[in-house]
Amino acid sequence: MGIELPPFIDYLKETRNASESTVSSYQRDLRKLNAYLKEHGIEDVQDVTATNLNSYVLYLEKQGLSSATVSRSVASMKAFFHYACKRRQIEEDPTETIKAPHIEKKAPEVLSVTETARLLEQPSGTSPKERRDRAMLELLYATGMRVSELISVRLDDVQLALEYVVCRDADKERVIPFGAQARQALETYLQESRAALLKGQESEYLFVNCSGRPMSRQGFWKLVKSYAAKAGITTDITPHTLRHSFATHLLQNGADLKSVQEMLGHADIATTQMYLRVGAERLKNVYSAAHPRQ
């Protein structure tokens, strides 16, 4: 077998601390590359050349795959061959000259302030589940956390009196403030609903499902979809839409870019800058629709 996956996958998990989705993607991409190389008579990883890999990239593009999919495949092969080179399994890295296709980044989908308010108001009942859902939505919009970070928040991470939450991402952590509405929703959930969901069990996690276990990404995704439909929001939103809306609304209301970058946990400020463009585009659309001399 040209590409020996098991040792590389162990490296991703144990040394790189890669997420399950990343490991799964790399496995899938490298198996496809392996099959392609075998079809072209290349059985030994030492025989793989930049020409072989460029041909593979062209092959993927001719299949009509998106630029994002092809770019991910290139990232997978670069990661593997860099690993193989460091471990002296190969003398030179054949991916050094391989370039991924340019990806045209789309502006993220955001909700208006009115739409956001409608969404957050949907879980208005007094059941333990609705109070939990209200607290989750309020905290997500108040902090701009990723969903994976939201469902991983522990009780000790939340400081209600000081109105901030400690958010952990891999080996990093950041402190994010939140406002009075999120605090009130959290207090109500903690005082009146969380124990009912736990049913006598114990959990270190802030948000738990109806079985007392930590909330899952899929579970939260479903409830966001359900409340969006109830709010009459026709945009196909995801939990990440609230993160995008958080950043856009802050910048529209005068927050400085560096502070928003820190709250979002972006390593590169260029990633945060895309929200400036979103705000400008929204204003342009409002202007075009409302100005009498358009």
Query: How far is CA 2 from each of CA 24, 53, 73, 214, 284, rounded to the nearest angstrom?
Result: 19, 13, 17, 41, 53
Q: What is the pLDDT of residues 242-262, one digit of tens each?
A: 888 888 888 888 888 888 888
Average pLDDT, the chain: 85
* Angle, vertex CA 127, rays to CA 135 and CA 240, nearest 5: 35
Region 93-110: mean pLDDT is: 77
pTM of the predicted structure, to 2 decimals: 0.63
Reply yes or no on whether the pLDDT at 287 is more than 50.
no
Q: What is the pLDDT of residues 194-209, one digit of tens each?
A: 999 999 899 999 999 9
Reply yes or no on whether the pLDDT at 170 is more than 80.
no
Q: In sequence order, which residues have a C-beta less than 8 Å from that of residue 277 and are 6 or more positions away? A: 107
The two three-digit tokens of residue 54, written as one number = 């460029």
Q: Where are the domains of the chain?
A: 5-86, 113-290
Reply yes or no on whether the pLDDT at 36 is more than 50.
yes
Q: What is the pLDDT of residues 72-96, one digit of tens each?
A: 899 999 999 999 898 888 888 999 8
Is the distance from CB of 240 to CB of 250 less than 8 angstroms?
no
Region 163-186: mean pLDDT is: 87
5-86 belongs to CATH 3.40.50.10140: no
pLDDT for res 130 = 96
Q: How far, rounded to the nearest angstrom, does the alpha carbon of residue 68 sit from its chain's CA centroid?
A: 15
For residue 169, the surrounding DSSP H or E stretch is strand 164-169
Reply yes or no on whether the pLDDT at 290 is more than 70.
no
Higher pLDDT, 52 or 2: 52
Q: Which CATH number fits domain 113-290: 1.10.443.10, 2.60.40.10, 3.30.70.20, 1.20.210.10?
A: 1.10.443.10
Q: In sequence order, which residues have a C-beta less than 8 Å from that of residue 219 and are 6 or more positions away? A: 209
Reply yes or no on whether the pLDDT at 137 is more than 80.
yes
Region 128-145: mean pLDDT is: 94
Higher pLDDT, 275 or 20: 20
Region 88-112: mean pLDDT is: 80
